[in-house]
Amino acid sequence: MTHRPLSWEDVARTHGRKIYNFAYRLCGDPHDAADLVQEVLLRVRRGLEDFQPGSFEGWLWRITHNAFIDEMRRRQRRPTAPLPEVVDRWDAQSSPGADEQLAAMRLGDDIQAALLELPYEFREAVVMCDVIGLSYEEIAAAVAVPVGTVRSRIHRGRRLLRAALSQEAAG
């Protein structure tokens, strides 16, 4: 039985939507997200001939990660501002009253806004894990960091996110 080689159209069909959502959740802009999908698909098209059978997901998300980093560097708009004041209060925000308010305020816009407040590395790890559904190992391969770093980034990202959502709910 022979297998037809993977084409970039196959990649667009099977992964285009995921790449778009990854980009949108990272940058919050549909036009920038669409530009990134185009850039990724172009890189996939150029790279498919050299792709060796193996972890296609790891290869694809590494391309996506690199394309996003390049794009952000090009535009010099890479957000890096941390929220240190939120880190120290995340436990204090876990009161039952705040939880109820948080549940009522959990709208997509609030969550997206809170995501955009995260430092880039944390946001990327959280989006890869909770939006795209990649494993820690796949994220580590895509971002080229150890799995331990992925663990830390996801955890710290969630802590900041939880604190930011609690603040929005309380405010």
Partner 1 sequence: MTHLDLLLSVYLDGETTPEESRLVSQHIGECLRCRRRLEALNEARTAVRSLPMLDMPADLVPAAVTETRQRRWHPARWAAAAAAAAAIVTATALALPDPEPLDLGDVTRQVGARAALDLGANSLKFVVPGAER
Contact residues for partner 1, defined by CB under 8 A: 8-9, 12-13, 16-17, 20-21, 24-25, 30-31, 34-35, 37-39, 41-42, 45, 90-91, 93-94, 99, 102, 106, 108, 111-112, 115, 126-127, 129-131, 135-136, 151-152, 154-155, 158-159, 161-162, 165
Distance CA 28, CA 97 (A): 30
Residue 54 C-beta: closest distance to partner 1, Å: 22
Angle at Cα 38 formed by Cα 32 and Cα 39, nearest 5°?
90
Residue 73 C-beta: closest distance to partner 1, Å: 16
Nearer to partner 1 among residue 65 and residue 118 (C-beta): 118
Query: Residue 166 to residues 19, 90, 97: CA-CA distances in angstroms?
Result: 29, 8, 10
Residue 157 C-beta: closest distance to partner 1, Å: 8
Residue 155 C-beta: closest distance to partner 1, Å: 4
Nearer to partner 1 among residue 1 and residue 97 (C-beta): 97
Nearer to partner 1 among residue 8 and residue 59 (C-beta): 8
Provide DSSP, 51-83. Answer: PPSS-HHHHHHHHHHHHHHHHHHHHT-------
CB atoms within 10 A of CB 74: 9
Nearer to partner 1 among residue 56 and residue 137 (C-beta): 137
Residue 94 C-beta: closest distance to partner 1, Å: 5
Non-local CB neighbours of 48 within 8 Å, separated by 6+ positions: 5, 6, 7, 8, 11
Nearer to partner 1 among residue 59 and residue 136 (C-beta): 136
